[in-house]
Structure 1
Amino acid sequence: MVWIKAFIAGFLATLVFHQGLFVVFYLAGVVPMAPFNLTPVPPLGVPAVLSLAFFGGLWGMVLWLLVGRLAGAKYWLGHILLGAVGPTAVAMLVVFPMKGLEVSAQTWVGGLLLNGFWGLGVAVFMVVMGARAPRTAA
């Protein structure tokens, strides 16, 4: 059951935290693309934001596996740091080149910020769903 919660936490964190910060970046003129992209993507033709949220759910399961059992500040920092580094590295080193997208210092920094905030969202949703009751480290 906890794995389903981790998937849901990652999915929701993508829609609320990741795309929420993306809205802020967009309104501030930092990124040219609008958030909540509804353009269909192959192979199933689902909206891009839902595809992103699906992969956010898978990454949520990875976060739970690696840092879900930590306590106190380590729980929160683990989610933020691993959330920032893992998905960003895969996006910049694998996904962007496969799609012919430019990788720059700005995309790295933006990815680290967006995905770190997403990682925080995963941690928050896991606590809200009762999958985790953070305690202070002993």
Structure 2
Amino acid sequence: MSPVLSQSRSTIGRAIFGFVAGFAVVLTVFQLALLLLYWFGALPDPPPYMAPTTPFGVPALFSSAFFGGLWGILFAFVEPRFPRGSGFWVATLAFGIVPLNLVLWFVVAPLKGFSLGFGFAPKDVLINIFLQGAWGLGMGIIYDFARRTSARQSPTGQTVARGS
């Protein structure tokens, strides 16, 4: 097991790893997904979005990354229950799409003064599904990489050569 994952067996270590992973995924994978949507004409402006958010005036990019980190904490605690193999990727995709969009549509939208689901315009629903799914897959990539890295280490923590 990698030092990161073995340390993350503790509650605080798991939470920190999840937050950092979720934050990083928003700054990387999520921004790439936004850029793809922009290139294909689905979004009017290119990322990153730096407009100040209310109530603190934090740029949208960092506000999103912070909330990505919070979702990453939850991901860190449910990920051990995900199946392995191809089921892992389905679970990470579903984690990104289902709870993130439900909270976005039924909690965040009304709190910001919008209608439920921001009106559920089909194009916007598909964009939300794509973006949140990308976040979930990004989290899966980080956790899969950490797991594969840990598989190459011996029980004493020393790196084992590939193929040994």
TM-score (structure 1 length as normaliser): 0.84
Q: Which runs of 5+ in 1 are unaligned?
A: none
- 1:108-119 residue pairs with structure 2 within 5 A? 108-119=125-136
Among candidates 44, 65, 83, match of residue 56 of structure 2: 44
Percent of pairs with identical residues? 33
User: What do residues 35-76 of structure 1 show as CA deviations (whole Å, max 9, x unaligned)?
Assistant: 211112123321111000110111111122223343222222
What is the Cα-based RMSD across aligned positions, in Å? 2.0
- In structure 1, the residue matched to 2:98 is 85
Displacement of 1:88 in angstroms is 1.1
How far did 1:116 drift? 0.6
Q: Which residue of 2 aligns with 1:55?
A: 67
SS of 1:41's equivalent?
A: coil
Contact 2:101 2:128 in 1 (8 A): yes
Equivalent in the alignment of 2:21: 9
Match of 2:87 in 1: 74
Deviations 1:82-127 (A, max 9, x none): 1111111111122123324433222211111111111010111223
Maintained 8 Å contact 2:14/2:77: no
Match of 1:107 in 2: 124
Q: Distance in 2 between matches of 1:123 and 1:59?
A: 13
After TM superposition, the score normalised by the length of structure 2 is 0.72
Which region of structure 1 is more displaced relative to structure 2, 109-118 or 31-40?
Answer: 31-40
| In structure 2, C-alpha distance between the alignment counterparts of 1:117 and 1:82, rounded to whole Å | 10
Partner of 1:120: 137
CA distance, structure 2, for counterparts of residue 68 and residue 55 of structure 1:
21
Letter in 2 for 1:98: L
Residue 20 in structure 1 maps to residue 37 in structure 2:
no
Which is higher, the Rg of structure 1 or of structure 2?
A: 2
Correspondent of 1:65 among 64, 74, 77: 77
Instruction: Determine the C-alpha separation between the residues in 2 that align with 1:68 and 1:121.
Output: 16
How many residues end up aligned between the 2 structures?
Answer: 133
| Greater mean deviation of Cα atoms: 91-100 or 18-27 | 91-100
Q: Distance in 2 between matches of 1:105 and 1:93?
A: 16
Contact 1:68 1:75 in 2 (8 A): no
Preserved CA contact (<8 Å) 2:89 2:140: yes
Q: 1:22 Cα shift?
A: 0.7
